[in-house]
Amino acid sequence: MAEPKLLFACLPTPSQMLLIEAALGHGDRAAAAWAGWEREFQLDHPDEGSFRLLPLVYRNLHTQGLTGPEWNRLKGIHRRAWSENQVLFHRVRPVLEELRAQDIPVMLLKGAALASLVYPDAGCRPMRDIDILVPVKRARDLFENLEARGWKPAYWRPREIAGGFLAFRHAMDFSGPEGGQIDLHWHALNLCCHEAADGPFWSHAEPLEFCGVPLLTCHVTEHLLQVLTHGIVWSAVPPVRWVADAVLLLRSDEAVDWQRLVATCRAWDLSPYVHCALEFLNRAFALGIPAWALDALERAPVSAATRAEFARACAPMARRTAWQDLLSFYARWRRSLGGASPALHAHGFVRHLQYAFELQSVGALPGLLVRSAVRRLADRQSA
């Protein structure tokens, strides 16, 4: 069954919404949603984003005393996710213990934190890595320390980890020599690589024990902000579990500070991302999202650069002009300035483009831009 084209390619498809209903719903509606999805799509070939929801589907139906087709296979998927997470936690724990021993503040983010705080058990939230946030001033040392211990960056990195790179990228995945993965964040948000944007995460942090190691995690408000801004962005692996993350956060006992959330979005020009995500959640679930907050986000001033960035982030395969692409790069770079004048830091944008195109030197940038322009012209002429 073909999926209809959605306005935003980052939002769940109808089939994924069936799974979300089975994972988060109650009674006959949850059971019917699971039976409908399994009958139509079966367990043999789900997309990876849908597969990540299956452990939560099992736990939700099992808790309500419900069953359905392929029940034993679904139970096995949950059990495997729990086991794999335990192995991951065990392999990452020594790094966390060492950071604590060095008195480095460590904040647990995303999957591992949410699995502990709002999911029924650790098997319900499959994850490939452990996300941790450290102060940006310690990031370069930790980057080098991990590499010295045999941890390998999963992505391209420049030869030198300079301040410009730390203001371009928010995090880097590392793979351990004996397995295990850490996503080392020096900024909390992928869209805001500036220390000031990390401020609410640290100032409202709360204690959390993880595998016996005392760490920090962020307030539910910042958890929700991170989930929405990360989840609403298109990914080759459909990031539909952001919906489960957000719903469980909003159903938790801890209340979101909506005023702080709106103020943060306005301050960092994030309103389109968060409004789109919350509006979708408000239509799909009864979560008590305040109407005034949705209205404030919708009415918030948004720069032309952020509008271009948002369009590109939600549907990157759509055809765009070189100017629109440049604006989207500019939007993220401007946030990294933390309010400083772009005109006085124009050289930083050139460095930002160097990192965006994964070049080892600024000198290689002109040739790449010329080749890109030639390709665009050829594509336009052949269209």
Task: Give the span between the Cα atoms of 169 and 190, in whole angstroms.
Answer: 7
Determine the Cα–Cα distance for residues 233 and 97; give it in Å rounded to an integer: 33
1 pLDDT above the threshold of 50: no
| pLDDT score of 7 more than 60 | no
* Helix, strand, coil shares, percent, the chain, to 5: 60, 10, 30
DSSP strand pairing (107-109 vs 213-217) = parallel
Q: 210 pairs with which residues across the strands?
A: 213
pLDDT at 119 over 70: yes
Per-residue pLDDT tens digits for 341-360 = 999 898 899 999 999 989 99
Give the residue with greater pLDDT, 167 vs 325.
167
Q: Give mean pLDDT, residues 261-279.
A: 97
- Whether 4 shows a pLDDT value over 60: the answer reads no
Q: Distances in Å between the alpha carbon of 278 and those of 192, 257, 330?
A: 19, 14, 25
The DSSP line for 160-197 is: S--HHHHTT-SEEEEE-BTB-EEEEESSSBTTB-SHHH
**CA nearest to 204, candidates 189, 187, 216:** 216
Q: What per-residue confidence (pLDDT) applies to 182?
A: 96
**Over the stretch 177-222, which tens digit does the pLDDT of each residue have?**
988 999 999 999 999 999 999 999 999 999 999 999 999 999 999 9
Q: How far is CA 353 from the centre of its chain?
A: 22
Q: What is the Cα–Cα distance from 184 to 204, expressed in whole angstroms?
A: 20
pLDDT for residue 58 is more than 90: yes
Query: CA of 11: how far to CAs of 165, 240, 376, in Å?
Result: 30, 7, 28
Average pLDDT, the chain: 90
The predicted pLDDT at position 382 comes to 67
> Could you give the CA distance from residue 299 to residue 266 in angstroms, rounded to a whole number?
10
**Six-digit token string for 227:** 């989930």
How far from 228 is each of 75, 231, 245, 300, 357, CA to CA, in Å? Answer: 29, 5, 9, 17, 26
- pLDDT of 3 reads 39
DSSP-assigned beta bridge partners for residue 216: 107, 207
- C-alpha pair distances (Å), 94 with each of 35, 97, 106, 275, 285: 42, 5, 13, 39, 40
Q: How many CB atoms lie within 10 A of CB 190?
A: 16
**Residue corresponding to tokens 């004048």:** 341
Average pLDDT (270-293) is: 94
Question: What pTM was estimated for this model as a whole?
Answer: 0.92
Contact 301, 313 (CB under 8 A): no
**Predicted local distance difference test score (pLDDT) of residue 324:** 80
Name every residue whose Cβ is closer than 8 Å to that of residue 113 and which is 6 or more positions away in sequence.
Answer: 131, 208, 210, 217, 218, 223
The C-alpha angle 111, 113, 116, rounded to 5 degrees, equals 105
User: Is 6 a residue whose pLDDT tops 70?
Assistant: no
User: For residue 251, is pLDDT > 90?
Assistant: yes
Q: Identify which of 325, 269, 274 has the alpha carbon closest to the alpha carbon of residue 302.
A: 269
Please state, in angstroms and rounded to a whole number, the distance separating the CA atoms of residues 209 and 273.
31
Q: How far apart are the first and last CA of the chain?
A: 30
Residue 44 pLDDT: 77
Q: What is the DSSP string of 265-289?
A: HHHTT-HHHHHHHHHHHHHHS----
Closest C-alpha to 17, from 62, 53, 44:
53
**Do the Cβ atoms of 138 and 214 come closer than 8 Å?**
no
* Neighbour order of strands in the sheet with 130-133: 152-153, 171-175, 181-185, 130-133, 107-109, 213-217, 206-210
